Chains A and B, each alone.
Chain A
Amino acid sequence: MIDVDGLTVRFGGVVSLSDVTVTFPEGICGLIGPNGAGKTTFFNVLSGFVTPASGSIRADGVELLTLPDFKRARWGVRRTFQTEQAIESLSVFDNVATVYEHTAKSGGSAARQTAVSEALDFVGLADVANDLVRTLPAKERRFIEMARAVVGQPRLVLLDEPGAGLPDEETAQLSAIIRAIPERTGATVILVDHDMELVQACCEWSAVLDFGRLLASGPTTEVLADEKVLAAYLGGDEALEDTLS
């Protein structure tokens, strides 16, 4: 459970998030909305890259906003980025190991080996563990980010358009991985994506942002049928209309 209360973010005169109050339940939550709605800004607040003007975010009884950015990963916030950020000069194994060794509270090299291997198995990259990332294609890089997000003990996994640029078949694999995260790690997952099929397949619950305001939240099927949501998307996202019609 992630309790967001009265969250407001301003950049100069622009209000990116306006008094957002919402509770994300356990499991996988969708966060959708047209471009510029404030989805990535919300992730940046959770990651600690953006300091909100006001509001609070409580998770497992901890006020996340009081933790410095790098310590949030230690607490359990994990994140993937719109443009994938797998580290090119490291091997696949080292990419995942880096996250583990900076977030695990204890454990020697044996524990690290096990945790990283399990994460790589989870996303199906065990075969290329020793390959340098720069030699790998886009799908593998995306999946490395997924392994980085689940290694160790994540409590809140933020996925920012993980399906962007992936063909259908690979999106299906991605979808299966995302759906397995809560059971494997116990973490709450928040998924931002424009691919409504992916959101519908993964998320029982969704919240919709538009111009920095919370437009609707609840079971995904109800939210997507909401007239306000449809109106927000009208002309903005034909893909959604296609999906819903």
Chain B
Amino acid sequence: MAGLKALLPRREFQVGAAAAIALAAMFLVPALFTGFWVARFSQTAIFAILASSVGLLYGRVGLVSLGQVAPYGIGAWVTLRLAFATSLPFPILLIIAGLVAAAIGVMIGLPALRVSGLYLALVTLMLAASVEIVLSQIKFPNGGGGFSGVVTQLSDIAPMRRPGFASSDVAYYRFIVVAAFIIMMAVAFVLTRKPGRAWASIRQSEVSALAAGIDVTRYKLYAFAIAAFMAGVAGGLFAGTIPKGLSLDPFTRQAAIFLIAAAVMGGIRSLWGGLFAGVLATLFLAFLTQNVWGHQLWTDFSLSLFGFGLLMNLVQNTKADEKKGIAS
């Protein structure tokens, strides 16, 4: 990692690199790849936001949350429902979805004030499971009219609308990339400010953070709110990628475990790690299924594959911690 840090020395350089990647993604990808791959790249950008939200909690504040699929699913659901029930512009829908998800995120965060580590992971997983059950009981994701419109025939599900200025697949893909870029930049900015420093203190030692006058409770809840906002917006963007027939699968407990594995494998200490996690979880996996012997097998075994990656990552990190003498 030290070598990588040396390669990326300046904040300005990193912002420039991120902008260059976003521009390349917006214009080169649709020019060079087929629609199938453009759709995969859309998922990459969305997953990058989601994985970064996990990274923010785990890598920056030290909170292991397996519950980020809950605000993700809620964001998707709120966006979908509001898209049918209202005529609000799509970006406004995303912001509302983010805010609703943030409120849920704070609720998920409340137990975090009392528990940490493995117990926090378990509690957040249980909360994600209960959100999954609620979403399934309210017939998520139904495409009927109004707030609670429910249709019984799958064929009756109406397609969800996209932003008027980005209704084609390619235009909507570009919209996602821009949204992801804005979110990443906003998070990068917050990380360099007072909350970012407070989170770094909390991650290293809560006792030391308290002694420095940091209201640990408040800053943990900030982190949960911001991470849930990110996941909520990601969910809203995701809902638009599958206008018809959005399923519950991306918001299940299995998806929750896949998410943390991919996020840790990608790297939780930097926003680049979130992007890398997105690449691994979408493009890399799609490449394996498309081109490598076994095909569908890769998707079926993706959880094991990423579990192995997670294990390797944790073993290495534990070793590094032991070297520093902080693992005790």
Contacts and interface: CB of A to CB of B under 8 A. Distances in A.
Interface of A: 47-49, 69-74, 77-79, 81, 85, 87-90, 94, 97-99, 101-103, 148
Q: Of B198, B204, B211, B214, which is in contact with the most chain A CB atoms at under 10 Å from its CB? A: B211
A147 B56 CA distance: 28
Interface in B188-207: 194, 197-198, 200-201, 203-205, 207
Given A70-B215, A70-B216, A98 B201 contact: yes
B200 A70 contact: no
Interface residues of B, number: 18
A81 B211 CA distance: 10
Interface of B: 194, 197-198, 200-201, 203-205, 207-208, 210-216, 269
Contacts of A94: 197, 200
A74 B213 contact: yes
A77 B214 CA distance: 13
The 3 closest A-B pairs by CB, nearest first: A73-B213, A102-B213, A85-B208
Contacts of B269: 89
A100 B175 CA distance: 41
Majority DSSP secondary structure for residues of B touching A: helix
Contacts of A73: 210-213
Q: Interface centre among B194, B197, B207, B213, by most A CB within 10 Å? A: B213
A5 B117 CA distance: 38
Contacts of B205: 85
Contacts of B214: 70, 98, 102
B271 to A, nearest CB: 14
Contacts of A78: 211
A98 B216 contact: no
B4 to A, nearest CB: 14
B200 A87 contact: yes
21 contacts: A47-B207, A47-B210, A48-B210, A70-B216, A71-B213, A73-B213, A74-B213, A81-B208, A85-B205, A87-B200, A87-B201, A87-B204, A89-B203, A89-B204, A89-B269, A90-B200, A98-B198, A99-B213, A102-B213, A103-B212, A103-B213
Q: Which of A47, A101, A102, A148 has the most CB of B within 10 A?
A: A102
Given A49-B207, A87-B204, A88-B204, A97 B197 contact: yes
Given A70-B216, A85-B204, A85-B205, A90 B197 contact: yes
B204 A102 contact: no
Nearest to A81: B208
B212 A98 contact: yes
Nearest to B60: A89
Contacts of A70: 210, 213-216
A101 B214 CA distance: 9
B211 A47 contact: yes
B212 A148 contact: yes
Contacts of B211: 47, 69, 73, 77-79, 81, 85
Nearest to B211: A79
A47 B207 CA distance: 9
